Structure 1
């Protein structure tokens, strides 16, 4: 891997391919029992048990204004460790299907167009092309700031 490429985990949401920096991914899980959190933001409305810790479960479909769907045979939960308010935080992300770890060149990423997308442009860090396919790289920081609700909606690792 060259210095100018970024390793990413690719996954599907509503038929589109998305990518997360592989450095934040801790594990990919099969769907598991969820516990609803009354009064929580709709984007982070449940928690799961991850290796003895209770972690929030976020639904990027909700963040992007897509219809929530039930888990199926391909669904996975991607557990990430992401810094929120200076604290490393474990968060589960629902996905429709996980593909692979691959490389993209950040220098070749394009900003999201201001019109013509079905998602909020400020929720997209960039768009990349790989083998003719379009890959959407979400801006997790902006998504969590805007859709995450109160900071209490996510549980820092230090207190979990």
Structure 2
């Protein structure tokens, strides 16, 4: 059985950076506010996702490959009876595929595409911690990218001497990618490719 860690979504949000494209805006959150995020490691680099985009964290259990899926799709898992596509974040960010280890896990996130909330899993090497990054330690994305597309980056955060890339999940996967993942999940469910047990 897949064990899950549920991230508490009832805690008050400490602040918001620029809202991710595709998300509906509420309130008057500004650029000068901090942000609370979950940090994790992928290919020996530190990344983060806004805590409000995260539904839960689950162990890597039985994962089924889907024929003709894009190279960044690792497979699908059964999450309480629903087929959940899992993307290999390292591959999507242009890094080499990482081996699954003891600390590898799946972070279940929710993104908004065409005003619809969609869930998917992102495979990460290790979950680190939940951090609140102060506004003075947040920087906008670089205008010129290095090893990663700049539209994937929501902000750069600094905690002590460590730089953390805050990802914009609404750009890491675009609408076309998500539509393809939905089709793959439907195909997997209809073909019985998804695991039978949770």
TM-score w.r.t. structure 2 length?
0.70
Using the TM superposition, give the Cα deviation of residue 5 of structure 1 relative to its aligned residue in structure 2, in angstroms: 2.4
Whether 2:141 is the aligned partner of 1:112: answer yes
Between the aligned partners of 2:118 and 2:145, the Cα distance in structure 1 is 33
Using the TM superposition, give the Cα deviation of residue 107 of structure 1 relative to its aligned residue in structure 2, in angstroms: 5.9
Give unmatched runs, 5+ long, in structure 1. Answer: none
2:96 — aligned with what?
67
1:7 — aligned with what?
36
1:78 — aligned with what?
107
Q: 1:20 to 1:150 in 2, by over 3 A?
A: closer
Whether 2:120 is the aligned partner of 1:99: answer no
C-alpha RMSD of the superposition: 2.2
Q: Which of 62, 66, 73 pairs up with 1:37?
A: 66
Q: 1:152 to 1:115 in 2, by over 3 A?
A: closer
1:88 — aligned with what?
117
Between the aligned partners of 2:70 and 2:98, the Cα distance in structure 1 is 17
2:177 — aligned with what?
149
Q: Say which SS state the counterpart of residue 130 (structure 2) adopts.
A: strand
2:164 — aligned with what?
135
Q: 1:51 to 1:42 in 2, by over 3 A?
A: same
Q: 1:145 to 1:116 in 2, by over 3 A?
A: closer
Give unmatched runs, 5+ long, in structure 2. Answer: 1-12, 16-32, 184-188, 190-198
Whether 2:86 is the aligned partner of 1:57: answer yes
Q: 1:99 to 1:45 in 2, by over 3 A?
A: closer
Q: 1:6 to 1:116 in 2, by over 3 A?
A: closer
Whether 2:73 is the aligned partner of 1:48: answer no
- How many residues get paired? 155
Bigger-Rg structure (1/2):
2
Contact 1:40 1:149 in 2 (8 A): no
Contact 2:138 2:155 in 1 (8 A): yes
